[in-house]
Amino acid sequence: MYTGKVKFFHEAKGFGFVVDEDSGREYFVHISGLIDAVQKNEKVSFELADGERGKNAVNVKLI
C-alpha cells in the first residue's frame, strides 16, 4: 500500500494522476481505480497495477 497526493483529477474525463509521497513518482489513475471520489491535493492511499503504459494507481481511497 502506498500513500500520496492527488496531483490532478478530471472528473468529466474520468482520469488523473497521483504522486507517491515516498518516491515522488507520478501514476495514472482511471475513475475505475477509485474507491472514493478524489480532488486535487487530497491525501490518498493506493496500490499499483500494470497498465497499458506502465504502472497505474488502483484502489485509491482517501486517508
Residue 33 near residue 56 (C-beta atoms within 8 A): yes
Phi-psi region of 59 (alpha: psi -120 to 50; beta: other; left: phi over 0): left
Q: CB burial class (10 A; 0-12, 13-18, 19+) of residue 62?
A: middle
Domain that holds residue 41: 2-62
13: domain CATH number is: 2.40.50.140
Structural domain total, the chain: 1
Strands (DSSP E) found in the chain: 2-10, 15-20, 26-30, 43-51, 54-62
Residue 37 pLDDT: 94
Residue 56 pLDDT: 98
Residue 19 pLDDT: 98
* 3-37 pLDDT per residue, tens: 999 999 999 999 999 999 999 999 999 999 999 99
